[in-house]
């Protein structure tokens, strides 16, 4: 049995590509990485890779992560500029070094040493992204936008992995890092147990360690859907109890048998998925609690 799930409707191309690889007997890591490549390259996706939101200095800085559920090894890069596929640089950190996280200019230097081709700003920063930056840099009082592609894949050998990629929020402070490359918050996977990936406001997701908690609930016997519902609802209510107004929190997950699920605390979230015997599709998600209404639905 193979299975793949990823955040947001724009990830349909990711799960279609990943499904092709898994169907042909490929490994979960290749499926997630190569699927995410399509989204990183797509300039119409304004929250990932090329064409993504710019920071307050007008730069495109990217974050990505990969985790191998067989070994619990991970690779992370953060605030990387000038490389089209940070998810692949993250995988190289995992496979080619004894470390887990590289950031900024040091991650860029590592990418060059590994032979990754550099992409100039005129290619990575689209006219649309530049216009949005120019229109909002002097008027917007806080960052906006916080979507991520997070992909969980299970291959025919039973191995699980998770990979993530994002540009972060629009007009964020240079150097800001959200949940996407933070283990346990933006991603987690363990073969034989499950995997999860998050999308939304990184600060809220980091405060409540959503991805690890989802996997841990599955480890203790909870179904994928019950686990992800529980984590979103608990995270939302915990933030509120601490005097904070929760922002967007959404999660996707998969158990060791390839069952997938998603949950959120806001309207408009959907995920894409594909599995053995089923066509790739987009699945809308009804919020388990609505941050804008502050009541269970």
Distance, CA of 6 to CA of 22 (rounded, Å): 14
Structure tokens at 225: 């859907």
Query: Residue 65, Cβ neighbours under 10 Å: how many?
Result: 32
Identify the burial level of 249 via C-beta atoms within 10 angstroms of its C-beta, where 0-12 means exposed, 13-18 middle and 19 or more buried. buried
Q: Cα angle at 157 between 151 and 160, to 5 degrees?
A: 25
Distance, CA of 197 to CA of 160 (rounded, Å): 13
Q: Are 38 and 44 in contact (CB under 8 A)?
A: no
Which positions are annotated as active-site residues? 148
Q: Which of 50, 57, 48 has its CA nearest to residue 171?
A: 57
Q: What is the dihedral of CA 167, 170, 172, 177, to 10 degrees?
A: -20
């Amino acid at each position: 049995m193979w299975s793949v799930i990823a955040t947001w409707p724009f990830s349909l191309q990711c799960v279609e590509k990943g499904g092709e690889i898994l169907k042909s007997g490929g490994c979960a890591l290749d499926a997630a990485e190569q699927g995410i490549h399509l989204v990183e390259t797509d300039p119409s996706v304004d929250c990932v890779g090329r064409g993504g939101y710019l920071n307050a200095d007008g730069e495109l800085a990217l974050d990505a992560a990969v985790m191998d559920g067989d070994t619990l090894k991970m690779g992370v890069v953060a605030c990387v500029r000038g490389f089209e596929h940070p998810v692949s640089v993250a995988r190289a950190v995992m496979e080619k070094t004894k470390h887990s996280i590289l950031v900024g200019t040091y991650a860029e230097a590592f990418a060059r040493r590994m032979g990754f081709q550099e992409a100039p700003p005129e290619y990575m920063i689209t006219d649309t992204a530049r216009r949005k930056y120019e229109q909002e840099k002097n008027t917007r009082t806080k960052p906006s936008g916080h979507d991520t592609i997070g992909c969980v894949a299970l291959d025919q050998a039973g191995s699980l992995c998770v990979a993530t990629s994002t540009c972060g929020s629009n007009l964020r402070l240079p150097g800001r890092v959200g949940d996407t490359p933070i283990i346990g918050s933006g991603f987690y996977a363990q073969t034989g147990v499950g995997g999860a990936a998050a999308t939304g406001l990184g600060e809220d997701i980091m405060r409540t360690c959503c991805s690890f908690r989802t996997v841990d609930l599955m480890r203790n016997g909870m179904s994928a859907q019950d686990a992800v519902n529980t984590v979103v609802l608990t995270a939302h209510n915990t933030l509120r109890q601490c005097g904070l107004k929760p922002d967007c929190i959404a999660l996707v997950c998969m158990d060791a048998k390839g069952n997938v699920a998603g949950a959120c605390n806001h309207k408009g979230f959907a995920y894409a998925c594909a599995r053995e015997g089923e066509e790739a599709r987009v699945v809308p998600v009804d919020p388990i609690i609505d941050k804008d209404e502050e009541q269970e639905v």
